[in-house]
Chain A
Amino acid sequence: MGAQDEAVHSSRAVQPRSDWGRILLTQQSLVWIVALICFLTFSIILRGFARLDNIVTLVRTVAVLGTLAVAMSVTVIGRGIDLSVASVMAVCSAWTITLMSLGYAEQSAIAMGLGLAFIIGLVNGVLIAYVEIPAILATLATGIVLFGLSEILLIRSTVVSLPASSVIIRYLGQGAFLGVPMAIVVAAAAVIVVHLLLAFTRWGRLTYALGDNREAARLSGVDVRGLMLAQCIFSSLIAFVAGLSLVGSGPIFSTRIADGGIIFDVVLVVVLGGVSLSGGMGGMAGVVGATALIGVLVNGMTILDLSNQMQSLIKGTVLLAAVVIDSLLHPRDEQTSRQGDI
């Protein structure tokens, strides 16, 4: 996906001179290289960083973030964006838990939560594909509306407790599969499923086509609107699964996480991972690399006992650098500047 697209996409893009250069200079590879450098640096200067337990803790901390980034990548590759993933994750799973405490069986509660996520994805898709509201505005709005409605209609308190009777959700959050914590397994499963879809199915190819040049795709007979609808629904469903794993990971859960800026972290991981906001490029390799980089940074900064302000400063600087590199590697040209709204 990477190297060929770059050469074709724009004549003003950075042109590496050798084959190795072409491979290493893609955003996806760069993010892995930086992650590796940070990892090695921290391993040397911080005692105990490179231990297996710490690495597992590190990956577990960012597993949910990674899953959300996978969800958002699906829409970003299609030249859209889904800013409601954080709300869907928090509200739909909090509602599932609330239903269980009201007496519904676990399976029914999960099905209803899934249904709500599906409906939100549908609403997003209809607003973007049929009403033609820019994706960034439509999904931002649905996210806020869902979060606001959640207290009025769906859940009794922003802090919800995991019922003792929960089995499936508890396993998704606290269980382990072959020794690997389930949060990581869920994230890995999302990555694998989306990668297989994007790389090997017609649907995936068409998503890239849609992101690369929507007009050309439409003129070639691709069902552009249906595809955008499907992307939004798929994104919401992945967000819901991430939410189940999150809710199941502890005795108590606060929906505040949806409003706490996690959506910016998700955009950071997506952009950092080479899934360009101009659409049509990037893949799971970059997203995993970016998640790893953020995980290494956050873990290292916590061990260094840096203040909250310093941590935000560093994360913000990294995002800025990522966006700048993204625009250098994929500058706007006649083709990309005419379509889309990001």
Chain B
Amino acid sequence: MVDLKKWSRQVLTLSRGALVAGAALGLAASMAVNAASAQESDSLRPKYFADLKGKKIVFLPVQMSMDFTKDWDRSFAEMAKQVGMDYSVRDANWSSQAQVQALDALIVEKPDVILAHNFNVSVLAKQLKRAEDAGILVIQLNLKSLYDTTAYVGIDNTQIGVVGGREIVKDCGEGSGKNGKVAIIIGEPTASDGIYQIQGLKEAFAKDPHIQIVATQSGKWDPKVSHDVTATILQQNPDLCAIWSLWGVQALGSSQALKEANLTGKVGLYTASEGLRYGCDAVKSGDFTHLVIWNSQQIPRDVFQIVTFLLQNHVKPGTMKGAVYTPLLEVSKDNLQDNMCWDPVH
């Protein structure tokens, strides 16, 4: 006969034991899991967000409504929103005076970071130093000032000149059978892009004494001015071999002048641009002989990398300096692909 009392007592003991063992196992398991996840959580994240949240960042462009500066603005705003930074813009609208005034006001307001797009090499130099002395991190974008601040992010204009110059030497120099006459059309005469590009071009031309620069004029970053200047230069030098134009937008004015003089293709047009669609179209149609593309869309990401790293490390302005140059892409009819250029979002 089954002794019910003894059997039920045994079952109870066993189940109690199983319960305790199970609980202990479960506890151990969850502790193990917790321990594992505690080791796997990202130790850099809390500091990242804590250091960036609420920081004030101000963009000071030469002009807000150019397609590539609008694209920069959109990128900066989006990235700032994601980390909780306070982003704003002070648009100089083509006026160097307005830039000076805006920067003066900013030095009083004391944001954490200023992204400066210099109208020319000298106009903001003194104030940029004052801004950094006041504890504001200054990153210069694409157009430099004579004064070097914590970082410069943007194109290496000297290298653009070297690359463009090298192509011109290839097509017009000794051994090409051409006369080596080159005209240079820069933008705003005192802006850093033109000054450094000429340095680069001269460096490339020094290798070939056959090249002679017959004209150096300013196209003022404007297609109409470029057009008129080019037309006049072509009058004087109808046997010109190459024209270097600082920027694609103004180079379109030059290409128009070449078209009117029936010299498209006979005079090479070499230029650099931010990668907007018109550049690739012009290479395809033969208006641009060679185009150096600096992809302006990469620049905001480069800027943000520098800014977030500096802010996380509480770097004091003036304690370090460096440059981040944008990679260049050379485009000509041989290697042209549609995805080399980008279309503005409207």
Contacts and interface: CB of A to CB of B under 8 A. Distances in A.
B236 interface: yes
A256 B63 contact: yes
A54 B235 CA distance: 6
B253 A303 contact: no
B155 interface: no
Interface stretch (A29-37, A110-118, A246-254, A280-288): A246-254
B20 to A, nearest CB: 73
B278 A161 contact: yes
Interface stretch (B7-15, B169-177, B223-231): B223-231
A159 interface: yes
Contact of B218 (A51, A156, A303, A308): A308
Contact of B221 (A47, A58, A254): A254
A305 B96 CA distance: 25
B336 to A, nearest CB: 19
Nearest to B248: A252
Interface string A51-77: 101100110110010000000000000
Contact of A302 (B64, B220, B232): B232
B216 interface: yes
Interface residues of A, number: 38
Contact of B256 (A53, A61, A148, A249): A249
Contact of A259 (B66, B94, B346): B94
Nearest to A53: B235
Nearest to B234: A57
B66 A157 contact: yes
B217 A259 contact: no
A246 B253 CA distance: 12
A259 B223 contact: no
Of the candidates A47, A58, A302, the one having the most CB atoms from chain B within 10 angstroms of its own CB is: A302
Contacts of A260: 94, 220, 222
Contacts of B225: 257
A158 B232 contact: no
Interface in A288-312: 299, 302-303, 305, 307-309
Contacts of A254: 221-224, 249
Nearest to B222: A254
B231 A61 contact: yes
B101 interface: no
B142 to A, nearest CB: 16
Contact of A48 (B227, B235, B249, B252): B235
A132 interface: no
Interface in A141-165: 147-148, 151, 155-159, 161
B337 interface: no
Which 9 interchain pairs have the tightest Cβ spacing? A308-B189, A61-B228, A54-B235, A250-B256, A302-B232, A158-B65, A308-B218, A151-B65, A57-B231
Given A156-B346, A252-B249, A260-B220, 9 more contacts: A155-B65, A158-B65, A158-B66, A158-B94, A250-B252, A256-B221, A256-B222, A259-B95, A260-B94
Interface of A: 46-48, 51, 53-54, 57-58, 60-61, 64, 147-148, 151, 155-159, 161, 246, 249-254, 256-257, 259-260, 299, 302-303, 305, 307-309
